[in-house]
Amino acid sequence: MATKAIPESSAPRQRRVEGSPLSESRSLRLWKGIRREVRTLFPIWLFFFLSFSLLRLTQTSVLEEYKIHTFPPSQVLVGSLLIAKIFLVADKLRFVNHFEDRPVLVSALWKSWIYVGLTLLLEYAEDLFDLRHLGFAKANDEMAVRLSTLRFWLLQVWLVLLLSGFIVSREFVRKMGRERFREVFLGT
């Protein structure tokens, strides 16, 4: 007696039921991915959030005497998150790690230029987006005016110094290893 082959379309499908091994493995992988992303993002975000907060506090205290308003506190949070995300995205690019085998200074300088360039590009795009109601040509003209102010360039100098300091410390940790760096830096 010959058996008929059941067409695939009429064969019962395996359903993903909540609590099944398929859904648990996917949710577990998703949760592990989120935890890894947060663990990587948090130290970068915390450093820049504290740095930008101190910079804003200094800027506000100086400029308030002259009744000049500074950027709102929400921009400190958003800016630090954007910088942290730039680090995560740029670290995935192949050319960023081009000088990994070189001394810390060479690798840190290379990465500093890349991160500063990406940050300036993002800052420019963000300002253009804020000025989109003016049209592209007028928004570019407004950006040219902003680029010529001393305030803009002082903030950029601070950004370069903060980025460079952070990158140098990060490269030392990478070269030495976390355990050795913790031992040398904290004595534990």
What span, in angstroms and rounded, lies between the C-alpha atoms of 155 and 56?
10
Query: In sequence order, what are the residues at sequence separation of 6 or more whose Cβ sits closer than 8 angstroms to the Cβ of residue 101?
Result: none
Low-confidence spans in the chain with pLDDT less than 50 = 11
6 occurs within a structural domain = no
Confidence (pLDDT) at 181: 81
* pTM, full prediction: 0.66
Q: Which of 50, 28, 172, 171 is nearest to 110 (CA)?
A: 171
In terms of residue numbers, what domain contains 57? Answer: 25-186
In a domain? residue 3: no
Predicted confidence at residue 183, as pLDDT, reads 86
Report pLDDT for 33.
83
**H/E element, 85:** helix 73-92
In a domain, 11, yes or no: no
Q: Give the closest residue to 118 by CA, choosing from 89, 145, 152.
A: 89
**pLDDT of the residue at 21:** 55
pLDDT at residue number 144: 84
**Residue 24: what pLDDT?**
64
Does any domain span residue 15?
no
- The predicted structure's pLDDT at residue 126: 79
Domains in the chain: how many in total? 1
Is residue 99 domain-resident? yes
- Burial class of residue 55 (count of CB atoms within 10 Å of its CB; 0-12, 13-18, 19+): buried
> What pLDDT score was predicted for residue 35?
87
Residues 6+ apart with CB under 8 A from 71: 56
At residue 13, the pLDDT reads 53
4 domain residue, yes or no: no
Residue 78 domain-assigned (yes or no): yes
Domain assignment of residue 111, yes or no: yes
